[in-house]
A and B are shown apart, each in its own frame.
Chain A
């Protein structure tokens, strides 16, 4: 049976859920995302409580530029879509195309992260809006930074999977791993949608 796990032929329709291990991973990961939701909800709550506590530092509507953030949103949403393609090819047992689409996902993720770093750099140097400037700045960087750290972790994760499985096909052992990595990526995307709305749009308008 152990050999079956690593065979790349005759895969079932949903290779990620074909084994008990796969089903466990699948379900465990959904629950993990439930916990992550509480984590981000707590961070959002903290942010909302402190978003007007700017003391002497700049306020939200003075620093946010929607153009850049909008671009970042588009990039991350697109990367979510490309990871869907990757999973589609995984289910079709086409590892090359899966790797390709994962590669595109990673590239988009890196672009997002690069822009976020640029954005932070810009705030710090252009507006003297550092981590310790005010309670608002601490809350902003912590919330958005936590998301950024999740993106970075997700990138590391997907890259490791790609490298590890570069020379072998899709099988019952690695299919669940790819699948939950893509779940994670979607989750990050959803969180960003909330950040875009609550932090940036409401910060600019509200």
Chain B
């Protein structure tokens, strides 16, 4: 076994950061939707996968990655809007398990639909030409594209944070999360706000899907394991906490990466060990508010 030199450690941290970036985006959307709508969205992984397939289709037509990155969130945002309007919203006030089961079923429908349309076997997806190369870091080659994923995630998270904290709509979102009743009394169409939040969460999932596609290709099942892992991230960060989602996403990436050096077989398991440890110490997650599910 290679000694854990500072260089190796630094590289593992960098790899983990890039790995965590995708978790951050997925968990952010999940947390946004849960925090506002108290909907545990089991279709989030399928939306992530759909985003990647929209990108795959757009790339097939135009060959332009940047267009994919722009198109997929728009398409999925519209789908998310429709899903909330016609499927999820009729279930409000019926208890948390109704939308959970609905989105769970929806994810199966979406995955099957993609299998029928695109085939079961999945496709590779090229990195954009401008980011295809590597840079040398500490004597190792590191793919430029992974650095781009980290930077893109940082930008998206920053933009969302500014949006939620500094715009009027963001103010409404935050108020809606605290007390939708009062918001309604104030004359704000809360249903519309929720629809837009659901669409926004879905669009972020799509963006994560597009960013992940050049790393691993696209497959109908790509959302399945990501969904479970991003739920773990959300739970670790605290359900509904946006800051928690970001921090926990990066934390999970780093834990997986570092475990891989010491015990590669346990890499996936380490995510759940982390969750168990956090839940033992803080049952509501790192930044969660207790009692949201009650």
Q: Do A and B come from one complex?
A: no
List residues of chain A with CB under 8 Å of any chain B CB. Answer: none
List residues of chain B with CB under 8 Å of any chain A CB. Answer: none
